[in-house]
Amino acid sequence: MRAIPFSPILAASLVSTCLFVSPATATGQANRRLPEAAPTLRVWIYVTGDLDPADRDRARQIADDLLASAGMAVEWRTCDAAEACSRAIDPSPNVTLILTSAMRSTCGTVALERSGLSATVLISVPCATDVVLDVTRGPAGRSNPLFSTLETPHLLGAAMAHELGHVLGLSHAPMGMMRVRLDMDGMLALRRGELRFTRREVAVMRASTMWQGLLAARGRLAPDRDVTAPQTRIR
């Protein structure tokens, strides 16, 4: 039976490509309250292929809830036109996330821009769907309702949160949210609402270049500050 595989971090200089995506609404698990000081990570989200908008929305909400356990808020911005997600007009730290219809051997990949202040995440929808089918049609799916009702958005949301964890400085861990492959125990914890980042992982995330960049950007864009302050240039 397959686990959901995630891939290592790649360092690269990146160019964004605009693809089709529809607006999202919040559904899924109950939200956790975020501290007032929590920075907000802007994620520009694209979809290729025929992913049901409702499934995309559920995946996004699951990722929201998992990241909220680390004190991270996410602002999702849909990108159905190039000008909607242009770093030329919005240079604050951000992530481009693509839910792709291409089959990949690993369900998620992240490439960090060399400054650490932007990244691109690629999530393979068919990869996550194949894992779901393996689980639901296997012995676990026939014996445990939490596995028999596992759906693609559950694993897409976990993959999104996992890869954004890499963006925020995390490496793979032997268990939990950052395990290289989300195994059956991890999927069960996900379905129970018990999968989350550890305290140590949260500390690493808060020390990351991206987290600190978000805090700095928020200060530059405060109402009583000059919004023309120096901005990060993307290579």
Determine the pLDDT at residue 21.
Answer: 28
Note if the pTM is more than 0.95. Answer: no
Residues pairing with 5 in the sheet: 181
How many whole angstroms from its chain centre is CA 58? 13
Distances, alpha carbon 83 to alpha carbons 16, 88, 93, 115, 118, in Å: 12, 9, 17, 23, 17
Q: Beta-carbon neighbour count of residue 130 at 10 Å?
A: 17
pLDDT tens by residue, the chain, 235 residues: 456 776 555 544 333 322 222 223 333 344 455 555 678 999 999 998 889 999 999 999 999 999 998 999 999 987 865 556 766 666 678 899 999 999 998 899 999 999 889 999 999 999 999 999 999 999 999 999 999 999 999 999 999 999 999 999 999 999 999 999 999 999 999 999 999 999 999 999 999 999 999 988 877 654 433 323 333 222 2
Residues pairing with 45 in the sheet: 78, 97
Backbone angles phi, psi at 114, to 5 degrees: -60, -25
* Contact yes or no for 53/158 (Cβ under 8 A): no
Determine the pLDDT at residue 73.
Answer: 92
How would you list the strands of the sheet with 181-182, edge to edge?
A: 73-78, 40-47, 94-100, 118-124, 108-112, 4-11, 181-182
Determine the pLDDT at residue 39.
Answer: 84
CA separation for the pair 43, 30 (Å, rounded): 21
Q: How is 99-118 classified by DSSP, letter by letter?
A: EE-S--SSSEEEEE-TTSSE
- 63: tokens are 């990722």
Helix (H/G/I), strand (E/B), else coil: 75:
strand
- Of the CATH numbers 3.30.70, 1.20.1050, 2.60.40, 3.40.390, which one belongs to the domain with range 4-219? 3.40.390
Domain extent listing, the chain: 4-219
* Contact yes or no for 2/133 (Cβ under 8 A): no
* CA dihedral (14, 46, 127, 208) positive or negative: positive
Helix (H/G/I), strand (E/B), else coil: 228:
coil
Determine the pLDDT at residue 34.
Answer: 57
Determine the pLDDT at residue 84.
Answer: 64
Arithmetic mean of pLDDT over the chain: 80
Amino acid in the structure at residue 123? I
DSSP 8-state assignment for residue 33: P
